């Protein structure tokens, strides 16, 4: 029975941590579904191509060549190295060692060679990422919204990558030593180790049992670290590792400058302009929304809430924002972070059975000064590497202030009053404009 204890221990560890991850994913899905409905099922072919180009192909990421290239290497390395995760899981359940080696032959050597090369490249890239953030101190990583947990989160991920890659290479190095030096029958000769072979001097003077202990320890720490990292995603900006794909698939495909209309308002205007409609008839109320615009996360649509969870906090949006560049309070990245924080707060209240309505997204998280600073230029949307749309959230909160509270800035209220009374944004009625035009012609 004792021979099966490692297998049972692995099974318990695996199912507990995967179970926690599944629970967290369900909570995220539930929180996203708190948003209002919106139809993003049109043009499926175009959506698949957009996802393949932007999420899988990293097309927008490489617009900044250095950081883009580094990110692509880490991204590909993360995907490639975790292919070996399947073998590790099967070995953990079955008590085998490198179960795929006898079936793949020389292909297995190529795979392990590739994994190690990418592990080394990931370590190099992580060093550059850490240096850019903490030594060079690139400006967009040191904005006010990046203090505290956001900065720690970015650094923790980099440290975790170093630890996981270090464990992977040490595990392979000890395995290689047991294959070639100790020639342990359990450690059959398999794989090619271009990087970890240089770690063999670490085991000089050790016994086979000591190296086996190192190999087993690093194996357990490596798989445990990956499963823990999986659960850490729930609390981290690196949730975009999962959500970048659906986020780009459900992204807005219409021209960026096209703002959405509210169906209830559009229908009412059409009725007003239709000469065949009785102007005294009561309007239909079935399409009237509960609120105009958005004051809280539940007023936003589900794609906007998924955008918030998908935000990488890279700051490219804020870096391109003309309002932020001129010293105004607006930061599109902060808009997305605040939306995610408020949605997380609502979700936590639901988990506890508490009332989530003590706060609102508008005023408690995002100030009115921020949303009125926006120039609606779409620079933030164009800059985002995974097609997040901060502008749509800003516009919904503006709608709420204008249509629910009549709380637009005075200049805007004057302009709208002029449009209503004079048919133009200027304080001159039609007769005055005609007289002005005729005066110009004389």
Task: Report pLDDT digits (tens) over 245-274.
Answer: 999 999 999 888 788 888 777 877 777 777
Beta bridge partners, 366, equal 362
What pLDDT score was predicted for residue 274?
A: 75
Give residue 101's region: left, alpha or beta (phi > 0; psi -120 to 50): alpha
Task: State which of 81-95, 252-266, 362-376 shows the largest mean pLDDT.
Answer: 362-376
Query: What span, in angstroms and rounded, lies between the C-alpha atoms of 109 and 102?
Result: 11
What pLDDT score was predicted for residue 84?
A: 85
Residue with the larger pLDDT of the pair 284 and 407: 407
Are the beta carbons of 165 and 118 closer than 8 angstroms?
no
Q: Nearest 5°: phi and psi at 366?
A: -115, 125
What pLDDT score was predicted for residue 280?
A: 63
Please give the share of the chain, as a percent, with pLDDT higher than 90: 62
Average of per-residue pLDDT across 73-90: 86
Are the beta carbons of 47 and 261 closer than 8 angstroms?
no
- For residue 232, pLDDT over 60 is answered with yes
Least confident of 12-21, 67-76, 157-166, 235-244: 67-76
Average of per-residue pLDDT across 269-287: 67
Are the beta carbons of 305 and 35 closer than 8 angstroms?
yes
Average of per-residue pLDDT across 164-182: 91
180: Cβ–Cβ under 8 A, 6 or more apart, which residues? Answer: 189
Average of per-residue pLDDT across 20-26: 96
- For residue 442, pLDDT over 70 is answered with no
Question: Mean pLDDT, the chain, as a whole number?
Answer: 89
* Nearest 10 degrees: Cα torsion 196, 197, 202, 205: 140
- For residue 384, pLDDT over 80 is answered with yes
pLDDT range class, residue 97, cuts 50, 70, 90: confident
The contacts found for 60-65 with CB under 8 angstroms, 24 or more apart, are 60/383, 60/384, 60/385, 60/386, 60/387, 61/385, 63/385, 64/316
pLDDT range class, residue 131, cuts 50, 70, 90: very high
pTM: 0.87
Least confident of 60-74, 121-135, 190-204, 335-349: 60-74
What pLDDT score was predicted for residue 282?
A: 59
pLDDT range class, residue 289, cuts 50, 70, 90: low
- For residue 344, pLDDT over 70 is answered with yes
What pLDDT score was predicted for residue 287?
A: 55
Are the beta carbons of 109 and 240 closer than 8 angstroms?
no
- For residue 389, pLDDT over 90 is answered with yes
- For residue 435, pLDDT over 80 is answered with no
The CA distances from residue 416 to 17, 188, 289, 337, 394, in Å, are 56, 79, 22, 32, 19
SS3 annotation, 207-255: CHHHHHHHHHHHHHHHHHHHHHHHHHHHHCHHHHHHHHHHHHHCCCCCC
- For residue 285, pLDDT over 60 is answered with no
What pLDDT score was predicted for residue 75?
A: 86
- For residue 26, pLDDT over 60 is answered with yes
Collapsing DSSP to helix, strand or coil, 301 comes out as strand
Collapsing DSSP to helix, strand or coil, 420 comes out as helix
Least confident of 139-153, 331-345, 415-429: 415-429
- For residue 286, pLDDT over 60 is answered with no
Average of per-residue pLDDT across 199-215: 91
């Amino acid at each position: 029975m004792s021979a099966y204890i490692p297998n049972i221990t692995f099974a318990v560890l695996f199912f507990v941590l995967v179970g926690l991850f599944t629970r967290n994913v369900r909570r995220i899905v539930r929180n996203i579904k708190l948003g209002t409905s919106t139809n993003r099922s049109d043009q499926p072919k175009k959506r698949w191509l957009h996802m393949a180009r932007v999420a899988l192909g990293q097309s927008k990421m490489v617009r900044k060549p250095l950081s883009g290239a580094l990110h692509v290497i880490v991204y590909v390395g993360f995907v490639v190295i975790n292919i070996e995760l399947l073998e590790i899981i099967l070995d953990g359940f079955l008590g085998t060692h490198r179960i795929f080696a006898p079936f793949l032959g020389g292909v297995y050597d190529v795979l392990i060679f590739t994994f190690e090369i990418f592990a080394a490249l990931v370590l190099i890239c992580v060093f550059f990422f850490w240096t850019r953030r903490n030594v060079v101190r690139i400006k967009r990583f040191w904005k006010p919204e990046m203090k505290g947990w956001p900065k720690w989160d970015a650094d923790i991920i980099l440290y975790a990558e170093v630890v996981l890659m270090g464990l992977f290479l040490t595990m392979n190095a000890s395995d290689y030593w047991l294959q070639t030096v100790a020639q342990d029958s359990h450690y059959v000769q398999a794989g090619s180790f271009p990087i970890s072979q240089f770690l063999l001097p670490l085991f000089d003077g050790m016994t086979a049992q000591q190296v086996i202990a190192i190999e087993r320890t690093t194996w357990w720490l490596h798989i445990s670290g990956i499963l823990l990292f999986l659960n850490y995603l729930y609390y981290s900006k690196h949730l975009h590792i999962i959500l970048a794909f659906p986020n780009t698939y459900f992204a807005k495909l219409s021209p960026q400058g096209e703002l959405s209309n509210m169906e209830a308002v559009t229908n009412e205007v059409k009725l007003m302009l239709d000469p065949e409609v009785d102007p005294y008839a009561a309007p239909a109320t079935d399409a009237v929304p509960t609120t105009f615009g958005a004051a809280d996360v539940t007023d936003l649509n589900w794609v906007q809430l998924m955008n918030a969870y998908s935000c990488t906090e890279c700051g490219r949006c804020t870096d391109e924002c003309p309002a932020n560049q001129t010293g105004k309070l607006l930061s599109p990245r902060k808009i997305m972070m605040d939306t995610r924080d408020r949605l997380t707060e609502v979700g936590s209240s639901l988990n506890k059975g508490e009332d989530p309505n003590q706060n609102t997204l508008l005023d408690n998280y995002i100030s009115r000064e921020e949303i009125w600073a926006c120039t609606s230029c779409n620079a933030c949307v164009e800059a985002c590497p995974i097609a997040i749309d901060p502008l749509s959230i800003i516009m919904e909160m503006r709608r709420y202030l204008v249509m629910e509270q009549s709380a637009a800035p005075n200049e805007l209220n004057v302009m709208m009053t002029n449009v209503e009374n004079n048919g133009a944004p200027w304080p001159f009625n039609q007769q005055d404009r005609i007289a002005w035009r005729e005066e110009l012609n004389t």
